Amino acid sequence: MTEYKLDLMNDAIAETPFLIFGSPLIEQAEIDEVVACMESAWLGTGPRVAQFENDFAAYQSLQPSQVAAVNSCTAALHVSMVAAGLEPGAEVITTPMTFCASVNAIIHAGLTPVLADVDPATQNIDPAAIEAAITPRTRAILPVHFAGRPCEMEAIMAIAQKHGLMVIEDCAHAIETTYHGKKAGTFGDFGCFSFYATKNVVTGEGGMITGRDEAHIARAKVLALHGMSKDAWHRFGDQGYKHYQVVEAGFKYNMMDLQAAIGIHQLVRVEQNWQRREAIWNRYMQAFSDLPIGLPAAPAADTKHAYHLFTIMVDEARCGISRDAFLDAMNARRIGTGVHYLSVPEHPYYQRFGWAPEQWPNAMRIGRQTVSLPLSPKLADTDVDRVINAVRSTIG
Ligand SMILES: Cc1ncc(COP(=O)(O)O)c(C=O)c1O
């Protein structure tokens, strides 16, 4: 190619808009509801949070008394583990292939995280590794439905039952996920969901706790609002001032009506957005089938994958390019990508537990090779074409 042609190509790339990874699809209904919320002057926890809780409960086939809206999934995980009432220092088994929040929440609840490696194909926690990690101090399992693919919940619940363990499901990626006809988050004692800006249902920041036991949710609600016995919107409603009592040292984790205003309309389109992500997923699977990259495992029979992340494996030995060089090449083509995740023990903080990445070799390898491609329902077909062309011209 002549220098002149190369210059033209570089100019064209520089003018191409950057494709932001995980950009949410926000429509007019959300914008109008936020404006209406602001005009109502009720910004904090109020009627829109109550409606969002009711709608979310209906979507998950739960009772409204089995859900509690909070301001993040991290808060949901933390409060669930406090509400679980486990003794200080008790061990909680989780996966090394997760966001740091899963592990940090265990630590903040005064518990001890223990890691069990993932299955190399599904990237989800391996039930056999859970069983091998159980000690006399184990009290709970915290499985993460990674990328929206359900964990092996039958095997996990059997282990929990056998050893008398609680189960707290990290459903940050898994709002739509089902396993053998049952929604993710309804197998264990608690389900914890995220509405962070890149998630399948978005409120900017936000989370939801679901629980099998209504008493657990009642305690979680108290813990999530300073330990106060009644919520603020009951206190300041038009029914007259109501005194509250502080019954424990809680946290400031409540969701605002401003956030719920977005969530209510996002939830209406949850299945429509899922269908769009499924279509993009299928296009990627087809477009990359002849490349030397690793592709996600096909969804298992009798499950619904939430298609939250489309992750490919870039093994330098097979692809002729390192994972990090691949990330740079995609960035140069103005395509945002993600890494979900470096395995937890790669981070320096966790080395105080005596952890080294090599102890969980499947998670270590995945963490060093994985790349998440854009999968937002906001992507136009031409955006998807751009991603495909960029991947194919980087790994040719
Ligand atoms: C697996 C997992 N768990 C927990 C969280 C924490 O969610 P949030 O940002 O809502 O606190 C995330 C967020 O990225 C996540 O991916």
Among candidate residues 183, 199, 221, 304, the one labeled active-site is: 199
Residue 79 CB–ligand 1 contact under 6 Å: no
- The angle formed by the CA atoms of residues 204, 100 and 155, to the nearest 5 degrees, is 105
**CA torsion sign, 72 to 75 to 77 to 83?**
negative
In the predicted model, what is the mean pLDDT of residues 216-228?
Answer: 95
Classify strands 182-183 and 178-179 as parallel, antiparallel or unpaired: antiparallel
Cβ-contact 143, 95 below 8 angstroms: yes
Q: Is the pLDDT of residue 232 over 60?
A: no
pLDDT band at 73 (very low <50, low <70, confident <90, very high): very high
The Cα–Cα gap between 64 and 325 comes to 48
Task: Decide if pLDDT at 40 tops 80.
Answer: yes
Quote the pLDDT of residue 11. 57
pLDDT at residue 12, as a whole number: 62
pLDDT, residue 14, reads 63
Does residue 309 have its Cβ closer than 6 Å to ligand 1? no
Beta strands in 103-189 (DSSP E): 112-115, 138-142, 166-170, 178-179, 182-183
Going by pLDDT thresholds of 50, 70 and 90, the confidence category of residue 1 is very low
More confident of the two residues 305 and 13:
305
199 has catalytic annotation = yes
Residue whose CB lies within 8 A of the most ligand 1 atoms, among 21, 70, 73, 200, for a mutation test? 73
Confidence of residue 308 (pLDDT cuts 50, 70, 90): very high
Specify the 3-state DSSP secondary structure of 321: coil
196 Cβ closer than 6 Å to some ligand 1 atom: yes
Residue 141 predicted with pLDDT over 70: yes
Say how far apart CA 264 and CA 300 lie, in whole Å. Answer: 30
pLDDT, averaged across the chain: 95
H-type alpha helices, the chain = 3-15, 28-40, 47-59, 73-83, 100-108, 127-133, 153-163, 214-223, 232-235, 257-268, 270-287, 316-319, 323-332, 361-369, 381-394
Q: Whose CA is nearest to atom 7 of ligand 1?
A: 73
Is residue 4 scored above 90 in pLDDT? Answer: no
Query: For residue 96, which phi and psi values (nearest 5 degrees)?
Result: -80, -10
How many A from CA of 395 to the centre of ligand 1?
31
Measured in Å, residue 172 CA sits from the centre of ligand 1 at 5
Mean pLDDT of 233-244: 72
Q: How far is the CA of 101 from the centre of ligand 1 (A)?
A: 6
- pLDDT tens digits, one per residue of 343-377: 999 999 999 999 999 999 999 999 999 999 999 99
For ligand 1, what atom is nearest to the CA of residue 77? 4
Å from CA of 196 to ligand 1 middle: 7
- Is 194 near ligand 1, meaning CB less than 6 Å away? yes
Is residue 255 scored above 50 in pLDDT? yes
Mean pLDDT across the stretch 166-191? Answer: 98
Under the banding of pLDDT at 50, 70 and 90, the label for residue 231 is: low
Q: CA distances (Å), 365 to each of 46, 73, 361, in order? A: 46, 27, 6
Ligand 1 pocket test: pick from 149, 169, 194, 201 the residue with the most ligand atoms within 8 Å of its Cβ. Answer: 194
Our answer on whether the CB atom of 80 is closer than 6 Å to any ligand 1 atom is no
Amino acid 68 reads A
